[in-house]
Amino acid sequence: MPVAFITGATSGFGKAIAISFAAHGWDVIINGRRKERLETLEKEISTTFETKVFTLPFDVRKNDDVQRSISSLPHDWKKIDVLVNNAGLASGLSPIHKGDILDWEIMIDTNVKGLLYVSKAIMPGMVERKKGHIINIGSIAGKEAYAKGNVYCATKHAVDALSKSMRIDLLPYGIKVTAINPGAAETEFSIVRFKGDNEKAAQVYKGYEPLKPEDIADVVFFAASRPDHVVLNDIIITPLAQANTSNFIKKNT
């Protein structure tokens, strides 16, 4: 069975993506920091689908842990067909001059350096096999900046640039690179951004129907399951009520 490696599978998109691959018969390696959630997801997947699951908890920001965890994978799990670089977050929403440096560091370390560390561990095997697919979860915030989004937008612009660069550098090895750039989706994203303020987080999705994790998972699996000669390079997905990072039609609530 083909193997998909999904970072950030304890919640939101990553969890839905892992379930989608498993539902289509793929074996899945699931990552995230919250081990208990990975174990629960492992049980859920293996009792529902005829597929294998390998849990690999680590923090994508810790390069030593990333390299050690990925190189410790058993032989049967080492041939990764699809890597979904999904782990990521926004921390805070402030004008740049009022930004918190710790928030900046968390976002840069997770969204940019974490994605690089994981890719660095997995790309050489794909290059050797001359086969593989890297799916980077960027954001509409990687296409245009929005008020108070500053550093989050910068990290997602970096993901956009890295997807383009990967596509060029990995072209000789037949490795596909897909960037998937969602707009507003209701996950734990805003709860994390607002540091546990559930009410503030819920406000982000009031007055319109946001994307669901499954909407993103459908597109990720569609991209991963195209014929060998077809690559989806770059996709922006928004809810019907969203035109770009800043223009929404919301009903009064």
Q: State how far Cα 140 lies from the chain centre.
A: 13
**74-93 binders of ligand NDP (CB under 6 A):** 86-89
Question: Among ligand NDP, ligand 8X3, none, what binds residue 14 when CB lies within 5 to 8 Å by partner kind?
Answer: ligand NDP
193 in contact with ligand NDP (CB under 6 A): no
Name the amino acid, one letter, at 234. Answer: D
Of residues 1 and 192, the one with the C-beta less far from ligand 8X3: 192
Catalytic residue among 152, 173, 205, 208: 152
> What CA–CA distances, in Å, run from 48 to 4, 11, 24, 26?
17, 18, 12, 13
Question: Among ligand 8X3, ligand NDP, none, what binds residue 88 when CB lies within 5 to 8 Å by partner kind?
Answer: ligand NDP
> What CA–CA distances, in Å, run from 165 to 77, 176, 178?
27, 12, 11
Please give the helix or strand (H or E) that residue 156 lies within, else none: helix 150-169
Among 39, 44, 65, 188, binds ligand NDP (CB under 6 A): 188
Please give the helix or strand (H or E) that residue 104 lies within, else none: helix 101-107
Using DSSP bridges, classify how beta strands 175-182 and 53-55 pair: parallel, antiparallel or unpaired.
Answer: unpaired
Of residues 91 and 176, the one with the C-beta less far from ligand NDP: 91
Residues that bind ligand 8X3 (CB under 6 A): 139-141, 149, 183-184, 245
Q: Could you tell me the two tokens for 218? A: 């459908």
Euclidean distance between the first and the last CA atom of the chain, given in angstroms as a whole number? 48
Give the up-direction half-sphere exposure of residue 129: CA atoms within 13 A in the CB hemisphere. 14
239 in contact with ligand NDP (CB under 6 A): no
Among 189, 194, 223, 238, binds ligand NDP (CB under 6 A): 189
Of residues 15 and 167, the one with the C-beta less far from ligand NDP: 15
Nearest to 79 by CA among 175, 134, 3: 3
Q: Based on the residue annotation, tell me whether 205 is a catalytic residue of this protein.
A: no
185 in contact with ligand NDP (CB under 6 A): yes
Nearest approach, Cβ of residue 84 and ligand 8X3 (Å): 16
- Would you tell me which residues interact with ligand NDP (CB under 6 A)? 7-14, 32-34, 59-61, 86-89, 110, 114, 137, 139, 182, 184-185, 187-189, 192
Where in the sequence numbering do the catalytic residues fall? 152
